[in-house]
Structures are given as C-alpha cells and as structure tokens.
Amino acid sequence: MSTRKIEFAEGEYYHVYSRGVERRKIFMDEDDYERFTRLLYAANSTMPVHLGRRQGVALADIPRGGPIVAIGAWCLMPNHFHLLLKEIKENGISEFLHKLLTAYSMYFNIKYQRKGSLFEGPFSAKHLDSDRYLKHQYAYIHLNPMGIIESRWKEKIIKDAKKTKKFLDSYRYSSLQDYAGIERGEDLIVMPELFPKYFKSAPDFRKMLEEWLNFTLL
C-alpha cells in the first residue's frame, strides 16, 4: 500500500483529493452526491458520525460537535472529489478524511451490494505553501465540473463559454454557489472566515472565474 509523503500542520492549507478504485464512479445517482455532501458536514466533528438515514434533511438538523478542519472549497465529480482544507486541530485532516471515507464507503457498499475498497489507496494531499498556490485552488477546484462538458478545460480551451458558465452555476455538488452568491439555503460546510480574504464579494469571485474562462475560447 502506498503512503502519503506529507505531514499535516495546524494552521496550514492543503488540497486533498481522492478517486474511486480503478477510476470507477463513486457517485451513481443524486442520492449518492447528497449523502457525501452531508457527510462533509457530519464527519467534520469531534463526535462520531451518526448520519443514519438522514437523507434530504437540512445540514443544521444533523447533530455535530465542534469542527476539526476548516473547509474552504469542495467539489464532487463522478469518480473523484477535491477539498481545500485547513488543519485547525492536531491530526484533524487525517481524522476527518478517515471518518468521511469510511462512512461513505460503508453506505455505498451496502447500497450497491459490493465489498472491498471504494477509493484507490490513501487520499492524496498537497501542501499549499504559497499565497499564489492557495488562491489558484479556488479556481481549479470550482472549475473542475467543466470536465463533464468540456474535455480540454485543463488546457484552458473552452468551446462554448456561455454554456459552460451556465453549467457551472447550476452544478450543485461544489461550493461554487456559496461563493458566487447563488442562494441554495445551506452554507454550513465551508468556513471562508478561516481562509484569506481573496474575494470581498460574489462579483469578485465571479471575476476571478471569468478571467480564467476567457483565457482561450474556440
């Protein structure tokens, strides 16, 4: 089994990500996405995870202790996910990811009657050790869903900017709507107050995405 060559430190920022074993899908339907979203909230706690059958309930109604990490951004894709995390408690990131991935794997394996690991190896993490590197993650993580409709987005090549912007605004399984000023009723997962103030307002955040999207258009 491979291991991470990184040590987490309180007060530092990290890009954490993981994909399904053999690149398999880890979210098969809307209920799966919703389950993982609620686990992002429920597992970020000093208490054990007790989500039970709380599918569709408001995050505020899920019992939780104090947070053990700060989540700055998140995005769920069909076969992987991305998180921007800050360690606020010793061993908080490792504890959070263990609870999150264990709880979701148990749910998934029971639902789809399968056995074995759902995720490939231990989760991956990169230390964001510069201001520029940290700020870049807000664009990278939130623009990841473009890969669903624009296969060359990482090359900054976009065929239909208008369609892409509309798709990103409507994509529910990331924190983009929280930063872009799109009302969806729940904003309890991200803790932007514990991250640098790169965006003073929703228009500032949108401007950053616009600048990236307008880089190259076919």
Q: Which helix (H) or strand (E) holds 88?
A: none
User: What is the residue type of 156?
Assistant: K
Place of tokens 């990184």: 6
pLDDT in tens, 55-112: 666 776 677 888 999 999 999 999 999 999 999 999 999 999 999 999 999 999 999 9
Enter the tokens of residue 139. Answer: 């664009």
Report the sign of the C-alpha dihedral through residues 14, 196, 34, 30, in that order.
Answer: negative
pLDDT of residue 93: 97
Q: How far apart are the first and last CA of the chain?
A: 43
In 3D space, the residue among 15, 6, 178, 26 whose CA is nearest the CA of residue 104 turns out to be: 26
- How big is the chain by its Cα radius of gyration, in Å? 17
Q: What DSSP designation does 123 have?
A: P
The CATH class of the 13-213 domain is alpha beta
Residue 142 one-letter amino acid: H
β-strands 80-87, 69-77 pairing: antiparallel
Is the CB of residue 8 less than 8 Å from the CB of residue 129?
no
Question: What is residue 121's predicted lDDT score, i.e. its pLDDT?
Answer: 80
Annotated domain spans of the chain: 13-213
| Per-residue pLDDT, 160 | 85
26 contacts 32 by C-beta, under 8 angstroms: yes
| pLDDT surpasses 60 at 8 | yes
Least Cα distance to 45 among 109, 10, 89 occurs for: 89
d(CA 46, CA 52): 17
Whose CA is closest to 138, among 213, 211, 84, 181?
A: 84
Is pLDDT of 2 > 50?
no
Residue 142 burial (CB < 10 Å; 0-12/13-18/19+)?
A: buried
